[in-house]
Structure 1
Amino acid sequence: MTTQQALVQPAVEVPEHKSGLVFKPYDLQCIHQAHTILSKDPPPKMTNEALALEVGINRNKLHYGFKHVYGQTITHFLEQQRMQKAELLLSTTYKSVKVIAALTGYCNSSRFGSVFKKTFGMSPVQYRKQCRNARALQRACNNATVA
């Protein structure tokens, strides 16, 4: 569907939204595009305003539409994406926590640590240690089975 075709499509009203915002198919397409951008590799420093500009929609429509379509705010979704990336990096690399914090979009490694602990119930260092212990235990079990 071209942009011109999307603009002439009938509007879709979001009944449960108290602001009375109306979302056209083009708006929904932009909201899905924003989700795709955030899902691929979360940008380190992207504001909602910059994301709205990139996908071509008003910031308020993006904010409310994203929450309506995906059931969570952009900020919460982005935090989840960053934590998944952090979890992967901690369990598969030897990069420092400070580097991983930066790679996941946190300027402050202590803020990263507190968000990680809130999400996973342990600090990034404890998580890495737990992953390494689990891998060592699995290797020991595999070696015992082979022998």
Structure 2
Amino acid sequence: MKKLEIHSLPLKEVISDIALGLGTEYTQDCGEYIVHIPEKWGEGSIKGINFDGGLGLLIYKCLFHQEVEMQFTVNKTHPLKFLFCLNGDLTHHFEKDQQEHHLQQYQNIIVASKDHNGHVLNFKENVLTEIYSLEIDRSKFNSTRSCELEKTKPNLREVFMDEKGINSFYYNGLYSLVLAEIFEDMKSQEYDHLIKRIYLESQSYRMLIHQLIQYDDDTDINSDNKILRKSEAHAIQEAVEIMKLELDSLDSLNTIAHRVGLSPRKFQAGFRHFFGKSANEYVQTLRLNLAKDLLINTADSLQEIKDKVGFSSQSYFTELFKKTFRDTPSNYRKKHRGK
């Protein structure tokens, strides 16, 4: 295992220490600091940028040829960190606490160390790891937000107001679909200079906003989680495939939701997010589109088509088909069969 000791806090010095440990140089462009991983270590880069008001952003996109441990150890209160894992597998632990916190794809953690204890990040061998880390100097960040913080819910207020690091803090969750979209937007941006900096700052604050909203959602013991997570998007796609394969004999939608590991509420929220309609409406659309295809391209009877697409009632099938395509199934077949 290779170990990098990082004894500084401002992101410029963080990148400088990482470059020194890797035996290379870093570059600077209008306040953005970048170190490229040397070939003998691996590939990729680590970027850092500071914004006004105590907010900073570190972006790790690296693949190391062997396990690498980054030790952020300085005798000062460390920033409050929000880490998001876009790809790969990372572990974190506090400097004087060996209990590891695993961070895998689509997961995020919020960590604050106690006293002057630092943070240790462990990057696995030959695993492409992509991490976005928001770093908040709570003293600077709080200086213009004292009124709002006083009125914030106790759990968040205590974390932000703990400027001296009296207590440690750890939270683990699955980041939301909105956050995933922010990361994709940030990766695809092609702005330069002034626009780029303002854009990255605004997106960093968006990340913070939606992470705090998600944390509030996760810690609300009085209701089911409402926010759709990135990992749950895959479950929705799995549900769609089940619907297509089992259209003629579908179980109840609640059963499908259970099969893909979603609550009925999240299941419906996912379909509305991706398709703009409920899961029932989506199934109905699948059935009617398949029925239309069978009418044109097969010699199946209307009864056979009705059964194949999963309608139990012929009259209901005809009613829905006419409402959607403005014609009965038999007339639609006559008009389009020869075309």
Q: Where on the TM-score scale, by shorter chain, does this alignment land: which range? A: 0.7 to 0.9
Q: Distance in 2 between matches of 1:60 and 1:20?
A: 9
Alignment CA distance shift 1:28-1:6 (3 Å): farther
Which residues of structure 2 form unaligned runs of 5+?
Answer: 1-86, 89-102, 109-173, 179-209, 211-223
Query: What is residue 175 of structure 2 aligned with on the other side?
Result: 11
Query: What is residue 242 of structure 2 aligned with on the other side?
Result: 37
Give the total of aligned pairs. Answer: 130
Alignment CA distance shift 1:11-1:43 (3 Å): farther
Higher helix share: 1
Query: What is residue 128 of structure 1 aligned with on the other side?
Result: 333
Query: What is residue 287 of structure 2 aligned with on the other side?
Result: 82
**Which stretch shows the higher mean deviation, 73-82 or 31-40?**
31-40
Cα distance per residue 1:69-88 (max 9 Å; x no partner): 22111111111111111011
Q: Which has the larger radius of gyration?
A: 2
Cα distance per residue 1:81-129 (max 9 Å; x no partner): 1111101111111211111111100011111011111111111111111
Query: What is residue 256 of structure 2 aligned with on the other side?
Result: 51
Q: Distance in 2 between matches of 1:64 and 1:51?
A: 14
The runs of at least 4 consecutive aligned structure 1 residues that moved more than 3 Å come to: 4-10
DSSP 3-state at the match of 1:21: coil
Q: Distance in 1 between matches of 2:280 and 2:247?
A: 11
Tell whether the 8 Å contact from 1:11 to 1:22 is kept in structure 2 after alignment: no
Superposition RMSD in Å: 2.7
Matched, 1:115 2:320: yes
Higher strand share: 2
- AA aligned to 1:131 is H
Which residues of structure 1 form unaligned runs of 5+?
Answer: 136-147
Identity across matched positions, percent: 25
Tell whether the 8 Å contact from 1:44 to 1:106 is kept in structure 2 after alignment: no
TM-score where L is the length of structure 2 = 0.35
Alignment CA distance shift 1:56-1:7 (3 Å): farther
**Which stretch shows the higher mean deviation, 45-54 or 33-42?**
33-42
- AA aligned to 1:102 is D
Which of 209, 225, 231 aligns to 1:26? It is 231
Tell whether the 8 Å contact from 1:66 to 1:73 is kept in structure 2 after alignment: yes
DSSP 3-state at the match of 2:267: helix
- AA aligned to 2:286 is Q
